[in-house]
Structure 1
Amino acid sequence: MIDDVFPGILLHLPVQSLLRFRAVCKSWRCIIDSPAFRKLHIHTNNCNKSEDAIFLHARFYNNGVQVQHNGRSLILKETAHFKDVEWPEYDLEEGASFYEPVKGLICVNYLDYRVPMAICNPFLGQFKIIPALAESDSCSYMITRRSAAVGFDGDEDYKVVQLLECEIDSGIHAHIYSSKTGAWKELVGDGGMLDDMEFCRKHSPMKSACKNGYFAHWCVYGRREGRYGLERYSLILSFNMRNEEFEIIDCGADYATTQYFSEGEHSFLRFDFHLSFENFVQIYKSSFEGEKLSWNPVMHVEVTSLETPPQWSNGCALFVVYNDVFVYDYRARKFIGITPRRNIRESKSRLSNEKFFEHRGSFVSPM
């Protein structure tokens, strides 16, 4: 009876606990290591339980990547692929980024498309270099920046979406890598082009509270003829991992300090930061009538200034606006505070969202 019930109990425990329990006895290790148990654990742990979340510290260095938890190294990978790459010390957004963990997988992306991306599961100690596109597919002489996201269309088979900004073509090339096929393919018709688009200043995918990995969103600029010639306008570029299709959403008029946040697969928040008005933020929530997007005012709040970075808790998202960082608790749906960006650099605190991130372990293998 106990033998029948015990695996069911283990299924509800986080991966980091299960990996410790492997050392208790041989029978526990056999259960936890069995492919059937791990597959069932992946299937039954798709939801994001905030109480299971931990914080990992990731850093780039000359020849590789390291991920730590509470000062203990989970994965330390050196590879010739990263040799002589100059990783930025602080502003990783300027050169490299970690895409928010999805089902335990972390996507390591460098702005330069010639540096291969990697997928890792730090708790399993697994690290995989994603093969680069063939030179003929990447239009190398025209690519200026790359952005990437990892997602799923099921429980275990992951996909990596790569967007390449093409300066001469004035658009974005899109490709997708499938772990099932181990190969890349083009998206969006002939040549994989999203015509007349370019990345916003912040090219990484939109921050999101939704962790199932079925969608990835980017903020991009479109270009069209206006009253005074060619003008730029803000768009949300949404990608569905299951049917491998893009949706383009017109955001309407916004500001240089406007930023967006994904609450769910088809739900967005818009933050208009007004730094000249004593740190006020106007918050809007999206609504759709057919394909038309509208922004409904939610509240106008003043964010408290903090001399020292606040303690990071589960559910924090960071928004860098010029020389300040706004800390937003998306579970409580409120801003915790605003701190000068220099505080992050001087203290190397956990407010650097490219180095510290919320993570839930999983048995999904990147290999």
Structure 2
Amino acid sequence: MDDCVANFPEDIVKEILLRCPVKSLLRFKCVHKNWYALIKTPNFVQQHLNCSKNNPPQLLLYNTGNYGDRYDSRSLTLISEENPQTFKGMAYLLGSVNGLFLMFGVIDHVHSCALWNPATREVRLLHLPPPMINDRPVFGLGLDLLTNDYKVVCYLCENLAAVYSCSRDSWRIFKHRIPFFTGVKQTFGTAYSNGVYYWLLRGCRPSYYTVLLFDFGSEMFEGIEGPHIHTYVFGLMLVDDSIAILSLNDLNMSDYAIWVMIQPGVWNKLVTFQCFPFIKSCYDSSLILATRTSRLISYNVRTNKLKDLAFQRPGIGKHAKASGCGVFYYNESLVTIKQRHDGELDH
């Protein structure tokens, strides 16, 4: 086997490996020491990530138990694989950023969070800094584009937040008056794009919405006035890399509208449409829907086309609050979250 591998030109081997899925590459690391060394290099990891973005995304479907269960009794289980991972105490999942997810919940009565790469099955527990005053901490996951450092932001309490840096393996607590958090009644949805994380917030008045953003490069918060929508708001999504709000007609639960932010504080109604009521998540300009027969469908709001995702499982044709079932579309990556011996993270 080694003789056959040695006869392949290195550039051809690299081009072939770049087009292989992550699970295959993890096995191929055992084939030859040169392959092992190549697959681990940061340059190969980045090139493979760029290639994977041109491939069809992977479907990740998970269950966090039933709505109403105690937080410390819930667990996150991946149910779209034959040998699923289960994380006791984890009840929420955010993602993905270059194939990485952030999960958080309550373990032994303590708020906990962890980074997770489902393709490589790596997990990195992040010990939250005190004081964890907020009963339901607000999290965000993103990439500092200048330093290529994966970071987690956590709103601890009023005027106090913390940022975790993977490269430093530490939290930085800082005081900052976070715009619009005073008087906020509910956090509706989140989105991530180009190094910036977004939260959709609703204030004391039902139709008053604001968007809070955090820039992982400058590590600063900023508030943007949202549209005045008198219908139910489902959450945030991305439409052609622009932040958008998905709203639902209270009188007809199948009528939706999408409002796109064309510049900070200026919103335009992009499209109205009708679709299934069980929306699970958003991916690019598409919604991931579940039919009443528990089959997953994607709906592209730009092209108005439906696509069967070839996945069916009893129980997913329910609202997330009722079933505890969530769906993500994501691109697999080799990005590692393991700690090096020297204390630095291998990107």
Report if TM-score (shorter chain) is over 0.5: yes
Partner of 1:55: 59
Partner of 1:272: 247
Residue 206 of structure 1 is aligned with which of 190, 195, 199? 190
Q: How big is each residue's C-alpha offset from its partner over 1:316-350, in whole Å with a ceiling of 9 and x where there is no partner?
A: 54599xxxxx976357554859xxxxxx9962459
Are the equivalent residues in 2 in contact too, given 1:111–1:147 (CA < 8 A)?
no
Partner of 2:227: 252
Partner of 2:153: 161
Root-mean-square deviation (Å): 4.1
Partner of 1:90: none
Distance 1:270 1:314 in 2: 13
Q: Kindly provide the amino acid, as one letter, of the partner of residue 197 in structure 1.
A: T
5+ long unaligned stretches in structure 2: 1-7, 66-72, 291-295, 339-347
Q: Would you say 1:347 and 2:347 are equivalent positions?
A: no
Q: CA deviation at 1:179?
A: 1.1
Q: Kindly provide the amino acid, as one letter, of the partner of residue 15 in structure 1.
A: V
Partner of 2:96: 101
Are the equivalent residues in 1 in contact too, given 2:258–2:271 (CA < 8 A)?
yes
Per the alignment, in what secondary structure is the counterpart of residue 10 of structure 1? helix
Q: Kindly provide the amino acid, as one letter, of the partner of residue 163 in structure 1.
A: Y
Q: CA deviation at 1:254?
A: 1.6
Q: Would you say 1:356 and 2:331 are equivalent positions?
A: no
Q: Would you say 1:3 and 2:10 are equivalent positions?
A: yes
Q: Kindly provide the amino acid, as one letter, of the partner of residue 83 in structure 2.
A: R
Per the alignment, in what secondary structure is the counterpart of residue 247 of structure 1? strand
Q: Kindly provide the amino acid, as one letter, of the partner of residue 5 in structure 1.
A: I
Q: Would you say 1:70 and 2:101 are equivalent positions?
A: no
Q: CA deviation at 1:251?
A: 0.8
Are the equivalent residues in 2 in contact too, given 1:98–1:354 (CA < 8 A)?
no
Distance 1:236 1:162 in 2: 16
Partner of 1:91: none
Partner of 1:151: 142
Q: CA deviation at 1:220?
A: 1.5
Per the alignment, in what secondary structure is the counterpart of residue 242 of structure 1? coil
Residue 212 of structure 2 is aligned with which of 220, 223, 237? 237
Change (3 A) 1:277 1:310: closer
Distance 1:221 1:332 in 2: 27
Q: Would you say 1:215 and 2:215 are equivalent positions?
A: no
Distance 1:150 1:311 in 2: 20
Q: CA deviation at 1:111?
A: 7.2
Residue 300 of structure 1 is aligned with which of 272, 275, 279? 272
Per the alignment, in what secondary structure is the counterpart of residue 172 of structure 2? strand
Partner of 1:174: 161
Are the equivalent residues in 2 in contact too, given 1:7–1:31 (CA < 8 A)?
no
Change (3 A) 1:311 1:200: closer
Q: How big is each residue's C-alpha offset from its partner over 1:184-220, in whole Å with a ceiling of 9 and x where there is no partner?
A: 123453xx654653555345x5245x4x5x1110012
Per the alignment, in what secondary structure is the counterpart of residue 116 of structure 2? strand
Distance 1:63 1:245 in 2: 33
1:124-143 alignment runs, 5 A limit: 124-135=120-131, 138=132, 140=133, 143=134
Q: Kindly provide the amino acid, as one letter, of the partner of residue 255 in structure 1.
A: H
Distance 2:280 2:247 in 1: 24
Q: CA deviation at 1:232?
A: 7.9
Partner of 1:365: 336
Q: Kindly provide the amino acid, as one letter, of the partner of residue 201 in structure 2.
A: V
Aligned length: 309
Q: CA deviation at 1:133?
A: 1.0
Q: Would you say 1:30 and 2:29 are equivalent positions?
A: no
Are the equivalent residues in 2 in contact too, given 1:158–1:179 (CA < 8 A)?
yes
5+ long unaligned stretches in structure 1: 88-95, 224-229, 321-325, 338-343
Distance 2:61 2:181 in 1: 37
Per the alignment, in what secondary structure is the counterpart of residue 111 of structure 2? coil
The percentage of aligned residue pairs carrying the same residue is 17
Change (3 A) 1:216 1:329: farther
Change (3 A) 1:336 1:8: closer
Q: CA deviation at 1:123?
A: 2.4
Change (3 A) 1:302 1:194: closer
Per the alignment, in what secondary structure is the counterpart of residue 40 of structure 1? helix
Change (3 A) 1:355 1:312: closer
Distance 2:21 2:227 in 1: 42
Distance 1:69 1:285 in 2: 32
Q: Would you say 1:329 and 2:299 are equivalent positions?
A: yes
Change (3 A) 1:349 1:125: same
Distance 1:265 1:187 in 2: 33
Per the alignment, in what secondary structure is the counterpart of residue 45 of structure 2? helix
Change (3 A) 1:59 1:258: closer
Shifted more, 272-281 versus 327-336: the winner is: 327-336
